[in-house]
Structure 1
Amino acid sequence: MGKNYEIDNIDLKILSLLAQDAKMAYTEIAKKVFVSGGTVHVRMKKMEETGIVTGSGFHIDYSKLGFDIVAFLGIYLEKSSLYSNVIEELKKVPEIINIHYTTGNYSIFAKVVCKDTQHLREVLHDKIQQVNGIDRTETFISLEESLDRPIQLADL
């Protein structure tokens, strides 16, 4: 299968439904999109083969597991050429759940989840700020997440 799969409105509707509920059965999706379950299965397989869909997942409420701090880190690099090396080291820090290469003031913007402020301090001081190539960091603690949603790809 080539990577030239043409996405149509049915594919967008399938993706939108799964983005809302990744556990939704293909038969239920088929009813909502007015196609057969087999059609949903075949289309999903094609979108996986072409890399449009790279997996499925679920959301974890980390606070219910004792992780009460969500912070965002603006990371300044000593030199932009160190980006790849720094990223490889940051990937080893389990508390980092998201990393972006950015424009603007920071070279890297990362999302970190910690149990409390002491844990955050340890992650910052003992792990992140010890990475060769990081000049300094700025930390922003999230007080509340007001929105976390997938982009709506099609009208349902």
Structure 2
Amino acid sequence: MMELDEIDRALIKALSKDATQSAGALGRKLDLSQPATWRRIKRLESEGILAGRTLDLDREKLGFGVTVFLGVKLATKGRVSLDDFERAVTAIPEVQRVEHVLGMYDYRLRVTARDIADFERVLRRRIMTLPGVGDVEANVLLSEERRPGPL
């Protein structure tokens, strides 16, 4: 595992706030040259610490007003492989996140839909027809107070 110094940590923090900043702009903030900053970013990427840069979209403004968290318990673990389920569920565009979890359910899904009727369509026609799906529990997101940030 790579040792991070204070400059690496400051660089990660700055990128987590705005990943679109140029190496030159970041370097000015951190008192580094543009090439030195660029080399540090490339090293963090090659080590897998920076695994990509994401775009934070406003789902509601794009017409997706409902987010539902689904707990999915597979009915037949012996007959259907986890890989088959994961491959099938990740092909559904409304499923934004798939998490394999330990507990009452085998998977936790984050599903985004235009409205409740759209979610019902996705649930009935896509999710409930996946290989091995047994019990499903839905929790509708009412509000999101805290967004993920830097570690």
Fold in common (TM above 0.5): yes
The answer to which of 99-108 and 75-84 deviates more is: 75-84
Q: For 1:50-69, what aligned pairs fall within 5 Å after superposition?
A: 50-69=47-66
Gaps of 5+ in 2: none
2:147 matched residue in structure 1: 148
2:111 matched residue in structure 1: 112
CA RMSD of aligned residues (A): 1.4
Q: 1:31, CA displacement in angstroms?
A: 2.1
The answer to which of 28-37 and 12-21 deviates more is: 28-37
The answer to which of 75-84 and 124-133 deviates more is: 75-84
Contact 1:72-1:111 within 8 A present in 2 as well = yes
The one of 78, 101, 106 equivalent to 2:75 is 78
2:41 matched residue in structure 1: 44
Contact 1:27-1:37 within 8 A present in 2 as well = yes
The one-character-per-residue Cα deviations of 1:23-65 (angstroms, maximum 9, x if unpaired) are 1222221122222221110011111122221211210001001
* Paired letter, 1:50: E
* Separation in structure 1 between the aligned mates of residue 40 and residue 95 of structure 2, nearest angstrom: 33
Contact 1:70-1:114 within 8 A present in 2 as well = yes
* Paired letter, 1:76: K
* Paired letter, 2:149: P
Normalised by the size of structure 2, how large is the TM-score?
0.92
* Separation in structure 2 between the aligned mates of residue 79 and residue 32 of structure 1, nearest angstrom: 54
* Paired letter, 2:144: E
Identity percentage over the alignment?
25
Aligned length: 149
Q: Secondary structure at the match of 2:70?
A: strand
Q: Secondary structure at the match of 1:62?
A: coil
1:8 matched residue in structure 2: 5
